[in-house]
Amino acid sequence: MKLVARISRRAALAGALLALAVTAPAQAGAPAALPDVVDTAVAAGSFKTLATALQAAGLVDTLKGPGPFTVFAPTDEAFAKLPAGALEALLKDKQRLVAVLTYHVVPGRVLAADVVKMTAARTVQGGRLAIRADDGVTVDGANVVKTDIQAGNGVIHVIDAVLMPRQ
């Protein structure tokens, strides 16, 4: 009988502790969850064209999803290097735009330390990015200029050119 009473008291104490843990507010100073890859890119300020393209392609909700995603993100300057009229043509051709943008995304969270060991990566679009780490890191010829920008659902690596899938 004493054993049953002890077990009951322990169970009641465990239940009370569990209830307290579930209903307790987050501790002050605890790190907030990181924003997703889209919000992280928008907050950086140098990916306005990418954000516009993602919206035109209908990919914003997808990239706000659980992921994880690795995004090789071209800057506004990278988009400006496209031939005259190329960006406007892409924005009008949703199917081609989706193909180009998903060619910049690799499934999973692939950090720079992993990228430098790779020679290729399969993209969400289905294509294969060629990766070289001889003199700096390039992805399909684009220079990786900043790495490991952490997001809640992935990681962003900044590149200096827009990648075009091979047809």
Residue 106 sits in a domain of what CATH number?
Answer: 2.30.180.10
Is residue 167 included in any domain, yes or no?
Answer: no
pLDDT recorded at residue 45: 87
pLDDT recorded at residue 33: 86
Which is nearest to 70 in space by CA: 114, 100, 32, 34?
A: 114
Is residue 69 included in any domain, yes or no?
Answer: yes
CA distance 166 to 55: 23
Is residue 16 included in any domain, yes or no?
Answer: no
pLDDT recorded at residue 167: 64
Phi then psi dihedrals of residue 46, to 5 deg: -110, 15
Is residue 72 included in any domain, yes or no?
Answer: yes
3-class DSSP assignment, residue 138: strand
Is residue 20 included in any domain, yes or no?
Answer: no
pLDDT recorded at residue 102: 97
Which is nearest to 107 in space by CA: 65, 56, 53, 60?
A: 65
Pure H helices in the chain:
2-23, 37-44, 48-57, 60-63, 76-80, 86-92, 94-102, 112-115
Is residue 9 included in any domain, yes or no?
Answer: no
CA distance 146 to 136: 11
Is residue 80 included in any domain, yes or no?
Answer: yes
Phi then psi dihedrals of residue 60, to 5 deg: -60, -50
2-to-7, 15, 156 alpha-carbon distances in Å: 9, 20, 60
Q: Which domain holds residue 68?
A: 30-159
Is residue 18 included in any domain, yes or no?
Answer: no
* pLDDT averaged over 10-residue windows placed end to end, the chain, 167 residues: 37 32 35 82 92 95 93 97 95 96 97 95 96 94 96 95 90
Considering its fold, how many domains does the chain have in total? 1
45-to-52, 67, 86 alpha-carbon distances in Å: 12, 22, 22
The reported pTM is: 0.80
If 0-12 CB within 10 Å is exposed, 13-18 middle and 19+ buried, where does residue 38 land? buried
